[in-house]
Structure 1
């Protein structure tokens, strides 16, 4: 009987070990935002060869949008550069953030005569970009792509910054789904979303940078709306409670060097600069 008990105990230990071994890869994210962690932002370029640009790239994002280096570009007429359409969307928990995925033609933005089509919207907390050193409470990214003749895509991202205040209409629209969002990498329909409600376009910054998460691909055209919106504390906390625990405190990459890049602020001649 003693030998049988020992054998059962060993089998139980091995079984539990196998479960733990399978669980570890899911519990430990590939990359994180804790600067004291072995998979923190300063180590992203060492985790995978495909992510080397996170370490070696010279035009990385995010950056500080500083009035000391910005070149002001006055433009006559309207600064509206987008045409968006209401479109059905799904909400997904990607583990490190929450994304709204647009289905069908949600519209586009025009950059130097090229159309970039809106594909997805997601959030970072706190903001990744800063303005004159000030970091805001939330940043929304609208990801656009422009198909090229060689089969590749160019990417343009529109960023919107938020400070605590009144609730944000877009998050109010989807927060009922955030309460009971499906598991990581699953999607849930949220009905129709109108991206035109997000933009103002009175003034905006523009520069060439990178994705702010691995693989940190460069050549991304960034447009940051200068108008600061408001979001409630509860809405940001709801976003935090949705993602995996390692990402809950923050999912914002630290600022990257400007490295002599051109930073422009487009303003209407009919609008005051500040």
Structure 2
């Protein structure tokens, strides 16, 4: 999990993308959303039934298709850095894009997701990694005078 200004959040959603282009240096990009405890997340509510149905299974389950437009990204500001995968082999050279706006998730939703993870991975947040001279950039949308923010 990422942390922002020393804060680790209750939940982090990762959407992993891989380029088929063999000539691209950084083939993997991860878009991340941070969540704090609060109101239930609509997107996660839609997944709850499927998550509940796989709880007692030790096998992988097909959760079906999702519409990525159901994931509410919030604002247009984001952090970007080059990091690594969070699971072995923890490969370097991954483009990370973390939405600056923190969404909310209910405590019940977090518990459901934790219960769905098998015992060996119950605490599946990788320990915080050193920056190792890595630069983290914050990108902000441009605003023009007279144009209101939506």
The TM-score range, normalised by the shorter chain, is 0.7 to 0.9
Whether the 8 Å contact between 1:147 and 1:153 is mirrored in structure 2 is no
Change (3 A) 1:252 1:202: same
Question: Who wins on radius of gyration, i.e. which is larger?
Answer: 1
Structure 1, gaps ≥5 residues long: 1-127
Structure 2, gaps ≥5 residues long: 145-150
Counting matched residue pairs gives 142
1:219-252 deviations in whole A, cap 9, x for unaligned? 100000000000011111111111212322x210
Higher relative contact order structure (alpha carbons within 8 Å, sequence separation ≥ 6)? 2
1:177-204 deviations in whole A, cap 9, x for unaligned? 11121723422344x4221232235100
Between the aligned partners of 1:205 and 1:160, the Cα distance in structure 2 is 11
TM-score by length of 1: 0.48
Between the aligned partners of 1:225 and 1:150, the Cα distance in structure 2 is 27
Higher strand share: 1
Confirm or deny that 1:232 pairs with 2:106.
yes
Confirm or deny that 1:137 pairs with 2:3.
no
Between the aligned partners of 1:144 and 1:185, the Cα distance in structure 2 is 24
Higher helix share: 1
Indicate the SS of the match to 1:161. strand
Whether the 8 Å contact between 2:26 and 2:93 is mirrored in structure 1 is no
Confirm or deny that 1:159 pairs with 2:32.
yes
Alignment of 1:29-108 (within 5 A): none
